[in-house]
Amino acid sequence: MKVARSIAEYAALRDPAQGRIAFVPTMGALHNGHRSLIRLARSRSDLVVVSIFVNPLQFGPDEDYARYPRPLEVDLESCEAEGVDIAFVPSVTDLYPPGRQITVSAGALGSVLEGTSRPGHFDGVLTVVLKLLNIIRPDVAVFGQKDIQQLACIQRMVVDLNVPVEVLGAPIVRDPDGLALSSRNVFLSAPERSLALSLSTALEKAATQTSVPAARMAAYEILDRAADDPAFVLDYATLVNPTTFAELPDDYTGPAILAMAAHVGRTRLIDNTILTFA
Ligand code: AMP
């Protein structure tokens, strides 16, 4: 595996003659969710590029940018073990040199749910993703459904800005008890971890319901119980249209997303599931 520590180093390594390039952007602290994306990328290409970059632009001022885990050497070993061809690990100043002004605006899709709780988050995500796509120039880029609103914003950007890349979504990888894997799970104490399971339990329960009101009620029953513990503070749990992310009316039929976010102790977690109402 080659490691490109700057844009210039990557440009020198990039060799389209080697075939189709698949790209997996990450913020590092790699887990089996990231590994599943890398394997999907591998199955769809000849050359796999993984970026590891904790993007300051997508964190709010009171968020966990400074303490976000950065086990770079372990991550590079994981990439090597997964057969990654190039790991791209740029510095903040390389990606964001002084004087920059232009950013991508995520629009309406980026202003609901996560966008309401984290103003500017998706502008930061789309700006770095577009920059990375322009630097890496992959044929295909893989993103996880764990961040389903992010995936929707990226798909929208690729269409709206004619970005020449195929975007693939990969299913959520969970621990055996149901907790969605996340780089932030390392922050959870044992009692916080069991509280955090309320998210996946609520999603599972809601997914067995046949109407919007029933799914909503099933989820809230579990989430309200979790909120009896002051360490669990629900941010949102909302049933939305998978294309617009607008909240669903009670009589809605068709595909839906139940998306949720909660603070568990000092850690903010998100999770979601796709369901269908007949
Ligand atoms: P992150 O490093 O958290 O920015 O995530 C990098 C990519 O991995 C994103 O496309 C995420 O959606 C994806 N990802 C993170 N956690 C999971 C998971 N548990 N299952 C599948 N994909 C995931």
How confident is the chain (278 residues) per 10-residue block, as mean pLDDT? Answer: 98 94 98 98 98 98 96 98 98 97 97 98 98 98 98 98 98 98 97 98 98 98 98 98 97 98 98 97
Judge whether 34 counts as a catalytic residue: yes
Residue 16 confidence (pLDDT)? 86
- Cα of 147 vs centre of ligand 1, distance in Å, is 7
Quick one: which of 152, 106, 140, 100 has its CA closest to 125? Answer: 106
Residue 152 confidence (pLDDT)? 98
- DSSP-derived pairing of the beta strands 21-26 and 140-144: parallel
- DSSP-derived pairing of the beta strands 254-264 and 267-277: antiparallel
Full-model pTM: 0.98
Which of 24, 37, 51 for a ligand 1 pocket mutation test, highest count of atoms within 8 Å of Cβ? Answer: 37
Residues 6+ apart with CB under 8 A from 163: 130, 133, 157
CB of 213 closer than 8 Å to CB of 252? no
Residues 6+ apart with CB under 8 A from 265: 187, 188, 189, 192, 231
What residue's CA is closest to ligand 1, atom 11? 144
